[in-house]
Amino acid sequence: MTTAFYSHPDCRGHDMGEGHPECPERLDAIDDHLLATGLTTALSLREAPMAKVDDLDLAHESRYVTELGDALQRIAADGRPRALDADTIAAAGTWAAVMRAAGAAVAATDAVIDGTCENAFCAVRPPGHHATRAQAMGFCFFNNVAVAARHALDVRGLKRVAIIDFDVHHGNGTEDIVANDDRVLMVSIFQHPLYPYSGAVPLGTNMVNVPVPPYTRGPQIRALIEENWLAPLDEFAPEMIFISAGFDAHRDDELGQLGLVEADYTWITEKIKAVAVKHSGGRIVSCLEGGYNLGALARSVAAHLRVLTAA
Ligand SMILES: [Zn+2]
């Protein structure tokens, strides 16, 4: 079966300034490594369309979508960057990038549901999991994964989807959007305390939050995932699985202090894929979130994709 790989050149046009870790080179590093390892040939490369406002409205307050969209289009026209929070900067290329990032997630969801691929990875930026219903923060503008999950439920008629978030940071935005939506089970693991300092107390009954202290390494994280994620996922039996695939829990990543290595990302992806095969017809849409050490990011994405593309 095929793994689709969604991206778009516009995702490189979003530039938050010299020295910002969420930089266009992240996508170049991934592409270069996939080419060098020959993994590219195992993928179905697809160009991300622009998201539709109707889809963004499924996860965000309509007024937020309109106001952020207007602001980003003004900035695209006048070229004057504007900080939305201390580290989330809108610049000339931001509007096109956010629309391609969310559009990739929705298109990947349609492709997986329609069966033109078995699973899909969206190599996009900006990331999305800190974007709440009505606030851009933490490098995120629209919540790509939450938009796609709601599209699967509200537009495509699925009844239950799981969102799995293994980024080093808590996915506060996704939690804000899907808390107490019984059609969604969200499971996550993240360093705590660490930005955005939320997640220790789940916001909804449909959340499995696993906060872990700094310097936790792969073996303990694997054990915590087995103890906390697998039974609830099995019981929930999702029809489709969305992954907030952040690779900043890697031991070489300076934005967090966890100790995962490439083999841990292989293991985590294998566990998720087993749930998908058992309950979801193999349907997985994985979207890039964090990951800021360029080498570690590229190798970890490759590890993730090797499992997704395996027979
Ligand atoms: Zn992160």
Distance between Cα 115 and ligand 1 center (Å): 30
Distance between Cα 171 and ligand 1 center (Å): 8
- The pLDDT value recorded for residue 181 is 98
The answer to whether residue 289 scores a pLDDT higher than 80 is yes
- The pLDDT value recorded for residue 24 is 98
151 belongs to the catalytic site:
no
Distance between Cα 126 and ligand 1 center (Å): 11
Half-sphere exposure of 200 (CA within 13 A, CB side): 9
Closest CA to 300 of 222, 247, 251: 247
Average pLDDT value over all residues in the chain: 98
Residue 77: band (very low, low, confident or very high) from pLDDT cuts 50, 70, 90: very high
The answer to whether residue 19 scores a pLDDT higher than 80 is yes
Q: How far apart (Å, rounded) are the C-alpha atoms in residues 175 and 132? A: 8
Distance between Cα 301 and ligand 1 center (Å): 14
The active-site residue out of 130, 151, 169, 170 is 130
Distance between Cα 78 and ligand 1 center (Å): 30
Torsion sign (Cα): 292, 23, 174, 153: negative
Indicate the pTM of the whole model.
Answer: 0.99
How does pLDDT run across 165-211, given as a tens digit for each residue? 999 999 999 999 999 999 999 999 999 999 999 999 999 999 999 99
Residue 289 near residue 246, CB atoms below 8 Å = yes
- The pLDDT value recorded for residue 37 is 98
- The pLDDT value recorded for residue 311 is 87
